[in-house]
Amino acid sequence: MAGMSWLPVEDPVELLRVDATWSAVSLPTSWAEYALKLVGAHAGPVFEDPHLSHHVWILAPRAVNHWPDLSEIGVTVHGPGGRLLVPGEDGCHDGTRWLRPPANRPLTDPELLRAAVEQVVGPLEDAAAAGPVVLCAHCGTPMREGHRLSWFVGASGPYRATYACTRCWIAEIAGDSPRRHLHAVRQWGRA
Protein backbone atom coordinates (compact mmCIF):
# COMPACT_ATOMS: atom_id res chain seq x y z
CA MET A 1 0.00 0.00 0.00
CA ALA A 2 1.32 3.40 -0.94
CA GLY A 3 2.67 5.56 1.86
CA MET A 4 3.15 2.69 4.31
CA SER A 5 6.91 2.38 4.65
CA TRP A 6 6.32 -0.03 7.54
CA LEU A 7 5.04 -2.80 5.24
CA PRO A 8 7.34 -5.28 3.47
CA VAL A 9 7.30 -4.85 -0.29
CA GLU A 10 8.23 -8.29 -1.56
CA ASP A 11 8.44 -10.82 1.26
CA PRO A 12 5.73 -12.23 3.55
CA VAL A 13 7.84 -10.97 6.47
CA GLU A 14 10.80 -8.60 6.41
CA LEU A 15 13.25 -7.00 8.83
CA LEU A 16 12.51 -3.29 8.42
CA ARG A 17 14.31 -0.25 9.77
CA VAL A 18 12.04 2.29 11.45
CA ASP A 19 12.34 5.57 9.57
CA ALA A 20 11.05 9.11 10.14
CA THR A 21 7.56 8.21 8.82
CA TRP A 22 6.52 5.79 11.58
CA SER A 23 7.30 4.41 15.02
CA ALA A 24 6.13 1.39 17.01
CA VAL A 25 5.74 0.08 20.52
CA SER A 26 6.03 -3.56 21.62
CA LEU A 27 4.12 -4.95 24.60
CA PRO A 28 4.72 -8.37 26.17
CA THR A 29 2.33 -10.99 24.83
CA SER A 30 1.49 -11.99 28.41
CA TRP A 31 -0.70 -8.89 28.79
CA ALA A 32 -0.77 -7.22 25.36
CA GLU A 33 -4.02 -8.98 24.45
CA TYR A 34 -5.65 -7.36 27.48
CA ALA A 35 -4.52 -3.92 26.28
CA LEU A 36 -5.77 -4.76 22.78
CA LYS A 37 -9.21 -5.57 24.20
CA LEU A 38 -9.25 -2.24 26.02
CA VAL A 39 -8.48 -0.30 22.83
CA GLY A 40 -11.03 -2.44 20.97
CA ALA A 41 -12.20 -1.32 17.56
CA HIS A 42 -10.02 1.80 17.80
CA ALA A 43 -6.83 -0.27 17.43
CA GLY A 44 -4.77 0.46 14.37
CA PRO A 45 -2.38 -2.06 12.81
CA VAL A 46 -1.09 -4.54 15.41
CA PHE A 47 0.93 -7.68 14.78
CA GLU A 48 2.13 -10.54 16.94
CA ASP A 49 5.65 -11.96 16.96
CA PRO A 50 5.38 -15.20 18.96
CA HIS A 51 9.13 -15.84 18.84
CA LEU A 52 9.90 -12.60 20.68
CA SER A 53 6.68 -12.90 22.73
CA HIS A 54 5.34 -9.46 21.94
CA HIS A 55 2.60 -7.58 20.12
CA VAL A 56 3.63 -4.53 18.10
CA TRP A 57 1.51 -1.43 17.47
CA ILE A 58 2.45 0.66 14.42
CA LEU A 59 2.18 4.34 15.35
CA ALA A 60 2.77 7.80 13.95
CA PRO A 61 6.36 9.12 14.08
CA ARG A 62 7.57 10.02 17.58
CA ALA A 63 4.14 9.07 19.01
CA VAL A 64 5.54 7.55 22.20
CA ASN A 65 8.92 9.28 22.51
CA HIS A 66 7.71 10.94 25.72
CA TRP A 67 7.05 7.57 27.41
CA PRO A 68 9.47 6.71 30.22
CA ASP A 69 11.83 3.73 29.87
CA LEU A 70 9.64 0.66 30.43
CA SER A 71 12.12 -2.02 29.43
CA GLU A 72 11.94 -3.45 32.99
CA ILE A 73 8.36 -4.54 32.28
CA GLY A 74 9.02 -5.63 28.69
CA VAL A 75 7.72 -2.55 26.83
CA THR A 76 9.94 -1.35 23.98
CA VAL A 77 9.60 1.89 22.01
CA HIS A 78 10.90 1.58 18.43
CA GLY A 79 12.01 4.88 16.95
CA PRO A 80 14.09 5.85 13.89
CA GLY A 81 16.93 3.41 13.34
CA GLY A 82 15.28 0.56 15.24
CA ARG A 83 14.57 -2.72 13.45
CA LEU A 84 11.43 -4.84 13.48
CA LEU A 85 10.45 -8.06 11.77
CA VAL A 86 7.14 -7.03 10.15
CA PRO A 87 4.68 -9.27 8.27
CA GLY A 88 3.52 -8.24 4.79
CA GLU A 89 0.04 -6.84 4.29
CA ASP A 90 -1.46 -10.31 3.85
CA GLY A 91 1.49 -12.02 5.44
CA CYS A 92 1.90 -14.58 8.09
CA HIS A 93 5.24 -16.27 8.46
CA ASP A 94 6.19 -18.79 11.09
CA GLY A 95 3.57 -17.40 13.48
CA THR A 96 4.27 -13.69 12.94
CA ARG A 97 0.90 -12.35 11.85
CA TRP A 98 -1.40 -9.34 11.88
CA LEU A 99 -3.92 -9.24 14.71
CA ARG A 100 -5.36 -6.02 13.29
CA PRO A 101 -4.46 -5.96 9.56
CA PRO A 102 -3.30 -2.62 8.13
CA ALA A 103 -5.78 -2.42 5.23
CA ASN A 104 -7.96 0.71 5.54
CA ARG A 105 -7.13 1.04 9.25
CA PRO A 106 -5.88 4.33 10.71
CA LEU A 107 -2.99 4.21 13.17
CA THR A 108 -3.81 3.84 16.87
CA ASP A 109 -4.12 7.09 18.80
CA PRO A 110 -1.03 7.01 21.09
CA GLU A 111 -2.95 8.53 24.01
CA LEU A 112 -5.57 5.78 23.72
CA LEU A 113 -2.82 3.15 23.72
CA ARG A 114 -1.16 4.81 26.73
CA ALA A 115 -4.48 4.78 28.62
CA ALA A 116 -4.89 1.05 27.86
CA VAL A 117 -1.32 0.29 28.96
CA GLU A 118 -1.83 2.30 32.16
CA GLN A 119 -5.05 0.38 32.84
CA VAL A 120 -2.90 -2.76 32.98
CA VAL A 121 0.40 -1.56 34.52
CA GLY A 122 -0.58 1.64 36.32
CA PRO A 123 0.89 5.10 35.68
CA LEU A 124 3.80 4.77 33.27
CA GLU A 125 6.04 6.90 35.46
CA ASP A 126 5.74 4.29 38.27
CA ALA A 127 5.29 1.09 36.23
CA ALA A 128 8.94 0.03 35.87
CA ALA A 129 9.62 0.40 39.60
CA ALA A 130 6.46 -1.56 40.47
CA GLY A 131 7.69 -4.64 38.57
CA PRO A 132 6.45 -6.86 35.75
CA VAL A 133 2.81 -7.71 35.16
CA VAL A 134 1.46 -11.21 34.59
CA LEU A 135 -2.03 -12.47 33.83
CA CYS A 136 -3.91 -15.19 35.68
CA ALA A 137 -3.98 -18.24 33.42
CA HIS A 138 -7.56 -18.96 34.49
CA CYS A 139 -9.39 -15.64 34.67
CA GLY A 140 -7.07 -13.27 32.81
CA THR A 141 -6.78 -10.77 35.65
CA PRO A 142 -3.60 -8.65 35.40
CA MET A 143 -1.48 -8.74 38.55
CA ARG A 144 2.01 -7.96 39.74
CA GLU A 145 2.39 -10.99 41.97
CA GLY A 146 0.77 -14.34 41.40
CA HIS A 147 1.18 -17.99 42.22
CA ARG A 148 3.35 -19.72 39.62
CA LEU A 149 1.60 -22.76 38.17
CA SER A 150 4.15 -23.91 35.61
CA TRP A 151 7.32 -22.74 33.92
CA PHE A 152 9.46 -23.59 30.92
CA VAL A 153 12.97 -22.59 29.95
CA GLY A 154 13.91 -23.48 26.39
CA ALA A 155 17.45 -24.31 25.33
CA SER A 156 17.76 -20.94 23.63
CA GLY A 157 14.38 -19.38 24.26
CA PRO A 158 13.04 -17.11 26.95
CA TYR A 159 11.69 -18.18 30.29
CA ARG A 160 7.92 -18.72 30.17
CA ALA A 161 5.65 -19.23 33.13
CA THR A 162 1.96 -19.34 33.89
CA TYR A 163 0.44 -17.79 37.00
CA ALA A 164 -2.82 -17.82 38.91
CA CYS A 165 -4.35 -15.09 41.01
CA THR A 166 -4.96 -16.02 44.65
CA ARG A 167 -8.65 -16.73 44.08
CA CYS A 168 -8.04 -19.16 41.19
CA TRP A 169 -5.03 -20.73 42.94
CA ILE A 170 -7.10 -21.48 46.06
CA ALA A 171 -9.83 -22.99 43.88
CA GLU A 172 -7.24 -25.18 42.17
CA ILE A 173 -5.76 -26.36 45.50
CA ALA A 174 -9.24 -27.09 46.85
CA GLY A 175 -9.93 -29.24 43.81
CA ASP A 176 -12.55 -26.88 42.42
CA SER A 177 -12.33 -25.91 38.84
CA PRO A 178 -11.17 -22.28 38.68
CA ARG A 179 -14.04 -20.04 37.70
CA ARG A 180 -14.12 -16.90 35.67
CA HIS A 181 -14.16 -13.77 37.78
CA LEU A 182 -16.48 -10.96 36.92
CA HIS A 183 -14.12 -8.15 36.05
CA ALA A 184 -14.97 -5.47 33.56
CA VAL A 185 -12.87 -4.86 30.50
CA ARG A 186 -14.05 -1.45 29.37
CA GLN A 187 -13.81 -0.81 25.65
CA TRP A 188 -12.91 2.74 24.71
CA GLY A 189 -15.70 4.85 23.31
CA ARG A 190 -18.37 2.94 25.23
CA ALA A 191 -20.04 4.01 28.42
Integer angstrom CA distances of residue 14 from 88, 95, 143, 151, 158: 7, 13, 34, 31, 22
Instruction: Read off the pLDDT of residues 43-82 as tens digits, 9 standing for 90 and up.
Output: 999 999 888 889 999 999 989 889 999 998 889 999 999 9
pLDDT at 184: 44
> Is pLDDT above 80 for 42?
yes
Beta bridge partners of 59: 23
pLDDT value at residue 191: 43
Which one has a higher pLDDT value, 55 or 167?
55
- For residue range 85-112, list pLDDT tens digits in order: 898 887 676 778 899 988 888 899 999 9
What DSSP string runs through 169-182?
Answer: HHHHHTTPPP----
Q: Give me the residues paired with residue 49 across strands.
A: 54
Selected residue with higher pLDDT from 148 and 111: 111
